[in-house]
Amino acid sequence: MTDYLYDGTFEGLLTCIYEHYYSGRADGIFRQDEYQRSLLCDCCVVETNPVKARKVYEAIECKISPFDLRRMYRAFRSCVEGRETMILKYAVLGFRVGSRISSLHGEQAVYDVQQAENKVATEIDKFRGIVRFSVLGDGEKKIYYAPVEPDNDMIEFIAEHFSNRFRDQAFVIHDLKRAKAVISARGEWYISDFEKEKLPPLDPDEEKFRELWRLYFDTIAIRERTNPKCQAHFLPKRYRNYLTEMNDTGR
Amino acid sequence: MDVYEKLKVLADSAKFDVSCTSSGVARRNNGRVGSAVDAGVCHTWTADGRCVSLLKVLFSNDCCYDCQYCVNRRTADCVRATFEPDELAGLTIEFYRRNYIEGLFLSSAVIRSPDGTAEKILECLRTLRKKYGFAGYIHAKILPQVSPELIYAIGLEADRLSINAEFPTMKGFRLLTPQKDPQNVFEPMRQITNQLIEHKALKGPGLMFKGQDLNNADNYLSASSPQIRTIRRNIDAKIAEKSAADEILSGDAVKTKKPETSRDLIRTEEPVQTGYTAVGSRRNRKEIFAPAGQSTQMIIGAAGETDRQVLAATEKIYRTFKMKRVYFSAYVPVVSSPLLPDVFSAPPLGREHRLYQADWLLRFYGFDADEIVGEDHPFLDMDLDPKISWALRNMQIFPIEVNTATMDELLRIPGVGNLSALRIVRQRKYKSVTYEDLKKIGVVLKRAKHFLTCSGKFYGDRRMDPEVIRGDVLQMKDGEQMSMFSSGRTGAPELQDGAETGPRIRIANPSSRINIRKEAATK
Ligand code: SF4
């Protein structure tokens, strides 16, 4: 049994898939920094190689399908444990059966990756709604800032949505868990490491609109129908930390 | 009055309106700020578990009408408030930019006259679109008796239009809302449907008209089309004893699906006949009219109607006006009146939930109202969802073989949803579907096992006795059935997301190029 260890990048994972074919079978793929050594398994560190990664990338795109490539990438961004090994198995099956892989719902490899992808997709839908911006800075230069803590590493998947929608406002969506952010202005965006320290203070009007929003939120609940269980089903507690309507203070 | 107070009063007055989704249209930012997502976006959930998508307020609650069930009726003693058009537009933009909301849902009481109110609403929407460059979602409610020209103009600003159907029966109308004539409700619905056809934008509810182009002469509703004629006739006969038998409000299931002579219905030469066609004919080709279509809502449990009456009216509204969605609102007793349920009675939430499930069967599963609630069983079973209730009444067609059944047949199996049916059909092109596969496909086997076979093998209860299966489902479902109850207004989990566009099905499309290279490179 051999486990391959990689550096945590998608290229790294693709390189591992390459090596699986050209230097010997991998039984599992894991991040080097999270790996727990065991007596039963050998492991070897695979150095990320852009050329090999690109080969695998293109092979998946052509021999399986762009859909499956996207699916694998999204699954890779999920927080599901063992996702790299699942993706390896998906790729192996995909290279055998081609683009019909996504129709073989009974296959464990397909099911696993589909579930992981689904986790990300669900969170993308959720975060389109629950990201909350605060206006920072006074005078001319205003920044819209939103802190988030998603389960999956997914802010890049909501970047396009917000950057198109708020084309005329400069904004930052800050993933506090991963210390990175989507930074966007004029309809363009990029991902970068990010520190909260550099932020300007709140806009003087900000508190007023927060207050109005809270007022609205509290007003529209129908007392006769109160149902906290149902509310928690859609809005788990872990997502509430930065929701304006659920908190009185804080950015 | 400052904006805080106004917001409090006018949001409070609008909160019973249920149709708050932001779905039905996808649009990239074509203004300065805003876009629309086809499946809609929920921004938060209130303490009662309802999704908040739009800023839902009344423009004014200062009403000159006197509807019995309404907190804002003229004779009620309450605080009155009215927004300024710019004030509300400004507030909407500030909320939108912070991503609190997906857009605006604007309704209103009748301030002095329906047209006067509609003009104010129009002014507000225009300010929002033009002055603030807002390209997000707008849902505008049309009041009864607003002139066709104003409806048209509002439709050019709004994404969705709706008119409350209010009650599923004539009796409800006559008793509870004396100043509203059902004709004034159905006439603008007709106009909107026709206008959508003219703009080639009529899509219909769910999968009901899947694969059909609705934007043709056959679907054009003339004031003299059979459906409308029956409505008229019944309304004229209002005074007569049997007047409750109006075509829409009769409680019978749909019989006529098409006008007999479609040709008679289109007036090609004479656009002046009705004011709005004249407006329509001058329109610019690229003009967009209510791209997210039309919806309506009915109050449940205020006028003693049966579920059969509700669903029959719903189905007729879908078939006649082809509107996107009919919403149900469990009546919350806010007003004490001898005509209405007691103020202490609980709103019929369970019933509303089952009705939504039935509505889903109409729109996405090819059911007719008659199959769901028949003459001998005019109410839905509160313990079981309507699909399994239907199956238990029709055991003779089961079990269905999953490897050969058509899509329509698969959809009839309890525990098989749109997504799982699609997956079954896709997989069996390459490989037959086994019982073990079904679970991974997403079929709820505990339920489905009694109703299907996999390559000839049956896994359910051999007796195929409805009572036994019923007992079995109720028992093991305990948890799930109940949680379906509590998990929200539109019910079963599958009903939550994209409740209008249907389950969001992600299908492999090899031709779609994806740019993950960019995504990958940004890390
Ligand atoms: S017209 Fe509308 S606001 Fe006015 S009383 Fe009737 S339901 Fe209430």
B257 touches chain A (CB under 8 A): no
For the stretch B442-477, pLDDT in tens is 999 999 999 999 999 999 888 888 888 988 888 764
B52 touches chain A (CB under 8 A): yes
A251 found inside a domain: no
Measured between CB atoms, which of A73, A110, A224 is closest to B516?
A73
Asked if the model's pLDDT at residue B490 lies above 60, the reply is no
Number of H helices, E strands in chain A: 8, 8
Q: Are B297 and B19 in contact, with CB atoms under 8 Å apart? A: yes
A79 found inside a domain: yes
CA distance B294 to B276: 17
- Domain stop point among B334, B364, B394: B364
Q: Are B395 and B404 in contact, with CB atoms under 8 Å apart? A: no
A16 found inside a domain: yes
Asked if the model's pLDDT at residue B247 lies above 70, the reply is no
Mark whether A206 and A167 lie in a shared domain.
Answer: yes
Structural domain boundaries enclosing B495: 369-522
Mark whether A6 and A119 lie in a shared domain.
Answer: yes
Instruction: Starting at the earlier edge strand, list the strands of the sheet with B103-107.
Output: B54-58, B103-107, B137-141, B160-162, B294-300, B325-330
Mark whether A107 and A178 lie in a shared domain.
Answer: no
Q: What average pLDDT does range B374-380 have in this prediction?
A: 91
Mark whether A120 and A6 lie in a shared domain.
Answer: yes
Cβ A225–B41 below 8 Å, yes or no?
A: no
A92 found inside a domain: yes
B518 touches chain A (CB under 8 A): no
- Domain stop point among B311, B344, B364: B364
Alpha-carbon distances of B200 from B73, B161, B197, B216, B285, rounded to whole Å: 38, 16, 5, 8, 11
A209 touches chain B (CB under 8 A): yes
Mark whether A154 and A104 lie in a shared domain.
Answer: no
Q: Is B513 exposed, middle or buried (0-12, 13-18, 19+ CB in 10 A)?
A: exposed
CA distance A104 to B431: 8
Q: Is B209 in the pocket of ligand 1 (CB under 6 A)?
A: no
Mark whether A8 and A118 lie in a shared domain.
Answer: yes
Asked if the model's pLDDT at residue B266 lies above 90, the reply is no
Domain count, chain B: 2
Cβ A129–B43 below 8 Å, yes or no?
A: yes
Give, for ligand 1, the residue of B16, B65, B143, B162 to mutate: max count of ligand atoms closer than 8 Å to Cβ: B65
CA distance B452 to B78: 58
Model's pTM, two decimal places?
Answer: 0.86
For the stretch A231-240, pLDDT in tens is 999 999 999 9
A160 found inside a domain: yes
- Domain stop point among A91, A124, A157: A124
Q: What average pLDDT does range A180-197 have in this prediction?
A: 93
- Binned at pLDDT 50, 70 and 90, residue A87 comes out as very high
Q: Is B143 in the pocket of ligand 1 (CB under 6 A)?
A: no
- Domain stop point among A75, A91, A124: A124
Mark whether B422 and B337 lie in a shared domain.
Answer: no
Query: In which residue are the tokens 């993706």 written?
Result: A87
- State what percent of residues in chain A have pLDDT above 70: 98
Mark whether A209 and A99 lie in a shared domain.
Answer: no
B521 touches chain A (CB under 8 A): no
Residue of A96, A234, A247 to mutate when probing chain B, most B C-beta within 10 A? A234
Q: Are A75 and A95 in contact, with CB atoms under 8 Å apart? A: no
Backbone angles phi, psi at A149, to 5 degrees: -135, 75
CA distance A13 to B523: 14
SS3 B457: strand
Mark whether A12 and A94 lie in a shared domain.
Answer: yes
- And the tokens for B153? 């103009």
Quote the ipTM score. Answer: 0.94
- Domain stop point among B364, B388, B409: B364
pLDDT given at position B341:
83
Strand partners, B27: B36
For the stretch A51-64, pLDDT in tens is 999 999 999 999 99
Mark whether B288 and B312 lie in a shared domain.
Answer: yes
Asked if the model's pLDDT at residue B482 lies above 70, the reply is no
Q: Is B65 in the pocket of ligand 1 (CB under 6 A)?
A: yes
CB-CB neighbors (< 8 A) of B35 in chain A: 161, 164-165
Written as one letter, the residue type at B221 is L
Question: B42: distance to nearest CA of chain A, Å?
Answer: 5
- Binned at pLDDT 50, 70 and 90, residue B11 comes out as very high
- Domain stop point among A66, A98, A124: A124
Mark whether B300 and B382 lie in a shared domain.
Answer: no
Mark whether A120 and A172 lie in a shared domain.
Answer: no
Q: Residue A204, preceding bond cis, omega within 30 degrees? A: no
Mark whether B432 and B460 lie in a shared domain.
Answer: yes
pLDDT given at position B226:
54
- And the tokens for A31? 């991040």
CB-CB neighbors (< 8 A) of B517 in chain A: 57
- State what percent of residues in chain B have pLDDT above 70: 78
For the stretch B164-211, pLDDT in tens is 888 888 888 777 877 777 778 888 999 999 999 988 889 889 898 888
Q: Are B113 and B240 in contact, with CB atoms under 8 Å apart? A: no
More confident site: B493 or B408: B408
For the stretch B91-138, pLDDT in tens is 999 999 999 999 999 999 999 999 999 999 999 999 999 999 999 999
Assign residue B18 the CATH number of its domain.
3.20.20.70
The residue among A190, A165, A215, A236 whose CA lies nearest residue B99 is A165
Mark whether A160 and A228 lie in a shared domain.
Answer: yes
A181 found inside a domain: yes
Measured between CB atoms, which of B33, B37, B486 is closest to A168?
B33
A186 touches chain B (CB under 8 A): no
Mark whether B360 and B373 lie in a shared domain.
Answer: no
SS3 A94: helix
Mark whether A113 and A137 lie in a shared domain.
Answer: no
Mark whether B348 and B310 lie in a shared domain.
Answer: yes
- State what percent of residues in chain B have pLDDT above 90: 53
SS (HEC) of B366-390: CCCHHHHCCCCCCCCCCCCCHHHHH
Q: Which ligand 1 atom is nearest residue B64's CA?
A: 4
In the stretch 107-166 of chain B, residues with CB closer than 8 A to chain A read 133, 136
Query: In which residue are the tokens 């065991």 written?
Result: A38
Mark whether B321 and B418 lie in a shared domain.
Answer: no
Structural domain boundaries enclosing A9: 2-124
B189 CA to centre of ligand 1 in angstroms: 18
A11 found inside a domain: yes
Domain count, chain A: 2
Asked if the model's pLDDT at residue A184 lies above 50, the reply is yes
Mark whether B359 and B491 lie in a shared domain.
Answer: no
Mark whether B49 and B131 lie in a shared domain.
Answer: yes
pLDDT given at position A247:
84
Mark whether A147 and A117 lie in a shared domain.
Answer: no
Question: A40: distance to nearest CA of chain B, Å?
Answer: 31
Q: Average model confidence (pLDDT) for chain B?
A: 80
